[in-house]
Structure 1
Amino acid sequence: MIEPKLEVPTELRDLAEKTIDQAEKAFGMFFDAANKSVTSIPSPGTEISKQALSFTEQNLKAAFEHARKLVHATDLQQAMQIQSEFLRSQFTNAGEHMRQISSGVMNAARDTTKIKL
């Protein structure tokens, strides 16, 4: 069975790309401000907060890249492959991020306990 081509006008693809670029720029500004805010008030959770912001930023960058790839999909099979690859990488990244955050929390708790003793 032959998959029909996705007939998306070039103008619509261009508009979608511009919209993705604008959203990515806006989120970049948000993350710059958030990082400055987190580092301006030192606390025991500062490192974990910075790490969580970093992971969120990585996830959003991956989502924007995913959206760019989808905009250029020429058929449903290609779109589904792009989606499958994205989900696989996100699950892998989520597991790694959780492992790193858990390790950071455990280290912070250990350090806090040492200070009190």
Structure 2
Amino acid sequence: MSEPKLEVPAELRDLAEKTIDQAERAFGMFFDAANKSVSTISTPGTEISKQALAFTQQNMKAAFEHARKLVHATDLQEAMQIQSEFLRSQFTNAGEHMRQISGDVMSVAKDTMKPKL
């Protein structure tokens, strides 16, 4: 028994693509403003904030790419495979991001605790 095809009109797929593009541009402007804002502040946590912002930006880019792939899925099996791959990569990335940020937080904490000469 074959998987039923997803019957989505081309116009709806085009509209979804345009909506994804618009949302991605809006988030791009948000991240540009946030990066400029974080760069103006000089604290021990500034680098961690920049890194967290960069990780969030990477996650959003991955989410937009994921949405684009889903828009073009032709059947439920393909959509589920796309979803599975996305979740697997996001879990891997989240673990790596947490390790990096945890290490940086520990480093900043050690630097902050050092006696000033």
Report the TM-score, using the length of structure 1 for normalisation. 0.97
Query: How do 1:40-51 and structure 2 match up within 5 A?
Result: 40-51=40-51
Tell me which residue corresponds to 1:110: 110
The farther-off stretch of 68-77 and 36-45 is 36-45
Could you tell me which runs of 5 or more consecutive residues in structure 2 were left unpaired when the two chains were aligned: none
1:9-67 deviation line (CA, Å, top 9, x unaligned):
00000000000000000000000000000011111110000000000000000000000
The alignment yields a C-alpha RMSD, in angstroms, of: 0.9
In structure 1, give the amino acid aligned to 2:103. S
Counterpart-to-counterpart distance in 1, 2:45 and 2:26: 26
1:19 paired to 2:15: no
Report runs of 4+ in structure 1 exceeding 2 Å deviation.
none
Paired residue type of 1:59:
N
In 1: Cα distance, 2:74 partner to 2:14 partner: 15
Structure 1: runs of 5 or more not aligned = none
> Within 5 A, what are the aligned runs for 1:15-94?
15-94=15-94
Cα offset for 1:80? 0.1
Over the matched positions of the two proteins, sequence identity in percent amounts to 85
In the TM superposition, what is the alpha-carbon distance from 1:116 to its structure 2 partner? 4.0
Q: Quote the Cα distance in structure 1 between the aligned partners of 2:96 and 2:84.
A: 19
TM-score, normalisation: structure 2: 0.97
